[in-house]
Amino acid sequence: MILQMLVSSVLVPGLVALTLSLFLWKARYRQQESSPYWASAAILAVSFLTGWVLMRGIPKWPVTDSAGWLPVLAIGGLALGLLVSMQKLHGVTTGVLRLLACLGTVWVSTQSLQQHTWKGTAGIWIAGLTLILFLVWNCWELVASRSPGPRAPLMLALFFTGLAILALLGETATISQLTGVLCAALGAMFVAALIRPALSLSQAALFVAMPLFGGLLLNAHFYAGMELLQTVLLLSCSALALLGLQLTKRSSGLAGIALAALIMFLPALLGIGWELLNREPHSDSSGMDEYYEDYYGY
């Protein structure tokens, strides 16, 4: 079972992303470029959908659970990424599109909560969560624009890795493995950028990555028991990413890249450590058997 999970959520999506990165992503970076490349959005979306099909089969319509919206978010994000890239949109226009994408992500991912838990306060919850996701997205927008090359893909891959580990500790294999698909895809982009240093993480890619992050995090926190402290610490990694870039702006090579990534990942490490220290040990192996039973759904 574990080998099957690694193949479907890491190996195959990673190989897909690496292949597409080397063949579709343009091997140049124009410093004054205002329209981001579309290929990186396609790479992330195709890699995620590949992992989804391997783990859960063809996406179902109509959607019957919160996690079922994730393929829709990937496809919708790809469409917006293509629009922004090909129409050379920028400034306020892309900001509005980001805000609408955040609103749509929160809306579809919290349908059950709106109907059963947030009665009378749904609007406040949706507005607040939309604003949080929008701020996180803006942080990573700055990271991508300020760090062409392998640095941004590595930092974003570690960011998703933090979510994958925290979701795993919260005992939701599905969300952890789906997040692992994006970790593998972004890791492959990092490798491709090392091979061809002119490559960079585009704005279009974030139109896929950030809605998926929002959907995965909302599922992990509200439906799968990820604690508030871990959620807040993970979100704070976005601000630390900017700090890491600032502190390492004069550092070049792999050492500077690794240091910036480590600074960004510190809050997630604290969350992981706290969860491990306060985790009740399993008395026998039956708990893990039950844990993996739900691999294809939770």
The reported pTM is 0.86
The answer as to whether 263 is a domain residue is no
- pLDDT above 70: percentage of residues in the chain: 84
**Beta-carbon-side half-sphere exposure of residue 145 (alpha carbons within 13 Å):** 14
**Mean pLDDT computed over 227-254:** 87
What range defines the domain where residue 125 resides? 10-26+35-229
Lowest mean pLDDT among 26-40, 224-238, 260-274: 26-40
Q: What is the pLDDT of residue 57?
A: 80
- Name 37's Cβ contacts closer than 8 Å, sequence gap at least 6: 25, 26, 85, 202, 204
Euclidean distance between CA atoms 214 and 204, whole angstroms: 16
**Residue 18 maps to a domain:** yes
Could you report the per-residue pLDDT of 162-214, keeping only the tens digit for each?
999 998 887 677 888 899 999 999 988 888 888 876 677 778 889 999 999 99
Q: What is the CA radius of gyration of the chain?
A: 18
Asked if the structure places residue 267 within a domain, the reply is: no
Is 245 inside any structural domain? no
Q: What is the mean pLDDT of residues 48-77?
A: 86
Amino acid 91 reads G
In the predicted structure, residue 222 carries a pLDDT above the cut 50: yes
pLDDT at 274 over 80: yes
Is 80 in contact with 44 (CB distance < 8 Å)?
A: no
1 in a domain, yes or no?
Answer: no
Residue 154 counted as domain residue:
yes
Residue 260 lies in a domain: no
- Give the mean pLDDT of 240-265: 85
Q: What is the percent of the chain with per-residue pLDDT over 90, rounded to a whole number?
A: 33
For residue 290, the model assigns a pLDDT of: 40
Q: What is the pLDDT of residue 204?
A: 84
- Into how many domains does the chain fold? 1
CB 216 within 8 A of CB 179: yes
pLDDT in tens, 89-138: 677 888 899 999 999 999 999 888 888 888 888 899 999 999 999 999 99
What mean pLDDT is reported for the chain? 81
Answer whether residue 223 is part of any domain: yes
pLDDT at 26 over 80: no
